[in-house]
Amino acid sequence: MNRIYLDNAATTPLDKEVIAEMVNVMENYYGNPSSIHAQGREVRTLIEKARKSVSGLLNAAPAEVFFTSGGTEADNTAIRCGIAAYGLKHAITSKIEHHAVEHTLDELLKKGVIDKLSFVNIDSKGNIDYAHLEELLENNPRTFVSLMHANNELGTLTDLERVGDICEKYDAILHCDTVQTMGHYVHDAKKLKAHFMVCAAHKLHGPKGVGFIYVSHKVKINPLIFGGAQERNMRGGTENVYGIVGLAKALEMAYQDMGAHQQVIQELKSYMKTRLEEEVPGISFNGETEPEKSLYTVLNVSFPEMEMVDMLLFNLDINGISASGGSACSSGSNIGSHVLTGIGADPNRPSVRFSFSKLNTKEEIDFVVEKVKHIVEQNIAV
């Protein structure tokens, strides 16, 4: 069976050119980058070349980019270290953030590191209420704000420039979870006014287990991980050299072909939305779907109530279709999507997130729509 992969928001296939770059490092560059001999120095050069490439694409300084094990570590570093460095006691976020943000802030509140955690209002499509954000900051200036660029389940985009302007007005520290959008949109560090941005390489056809955190020169933080002088004393541990090289290569390729990929993937998303509307009665879409308001790689579909809700993804899987999803949490239950619950989605309706990449085709979409139509017809509640 030739499987169809529509779970690119979870992870993307490694690009062949990225693999080639990484294999070259694995085979030929084995020195420890902290060693002062020639083999160590040449590996250190690879890391710094990658840092310069990444920082250039972000319009940042190389000294503002630190490599990590991925997005979760980067988010934790920004939140824990940012709050600690400035002794902040109040944080603002939303109820549809990634667990790397949500759980970290919950833990800081639980342990008394922060005294208060406020949630900015969101609407039924996952848009934040900018007026409410300003109201929260007006009452609590010099606070920590953590808001994602695009929701990983819904695809709804947040206007980071607008958020940055509001945060600057009230001297707030701004962390943006940019995991889903790094490599898919241009991120200009000087223009966005964010103090922290993050990346996970595997979301843009790079390797798993590596990412980076952008830390603006305007803030100074202490390390999250101690143990050595690596990453300019900001992250202990021998660097994942081939991962870092792979990350830089993947980001370079993403920026090089960004416009073309954006157009192709957006067309696939729009095509699938239209086909589903034509073929599957009773569906609706979670989050924003208009191109200017929505991440072009994500389409979240809510299906009619079914007798066997849990079987929807299973049936897709056995038909060779990889996707992800769930439903809103039921009352009194922790099982389900906190994001769908946060926007007030119907817990009785299953939802599937289809997420696309440059490798998907229109023919694949046609196949998926036909299979979805058949599965829904066979399982619709009566």
- Tell me if residue 81 is catalytic: no
**Per-residue confidence band for 310, with pLDDT thresholds at 50, 70 and 90:** low
pLDDT in tens, 132-153: 999 999 999 999 999 999 999 9
Rounded mean pLDDT of 202-227? 97
Using alpha carbons, select from 249, 236, 186 the residue that is nearest to residue 67: 236
Q: pLDDT over 70 for what percent of the chain?
A: 96
Rounded mean pLDDT of 97-110? 97
In degrees, rounded to 5, the angle at the alpha carbon of residue 204 between the alpha carbons of residues 295 and 206 is: 170
> Domain residues of the chain, as ranges?
16-256, 257-379
d(CA 382, CA 373): 16
* Active-site choice (167, 176, 199, 329): 329
The answer to whether the CB of 176 falls within 8 A of the CB of 147 is: yes
Q: In CATH, which superfamily holds the domain spanning 257-379? A: Aspartate Aminotransferase, domain 1 (3.90.1150.10)
CATH 3.30.565.10 fits 16-256, yes or no: no
d(CA 304, CA 334): 22
**Per-residue confidence band for 382, with pLDDT thresholds at 50, 70 and 90:** very low
pLDDT at 329 over 80: no
**Per-residue confidence band for 311, with pLDDT thresholds at 50, 70 and 90:** confident
**Per-residue confidence band for 225, with pLDDT thresholds at 50, 70 and 90:** very high
**Per-residue confidence band for 309, with pLDDT thresholds at 50, 70 and 90:** low
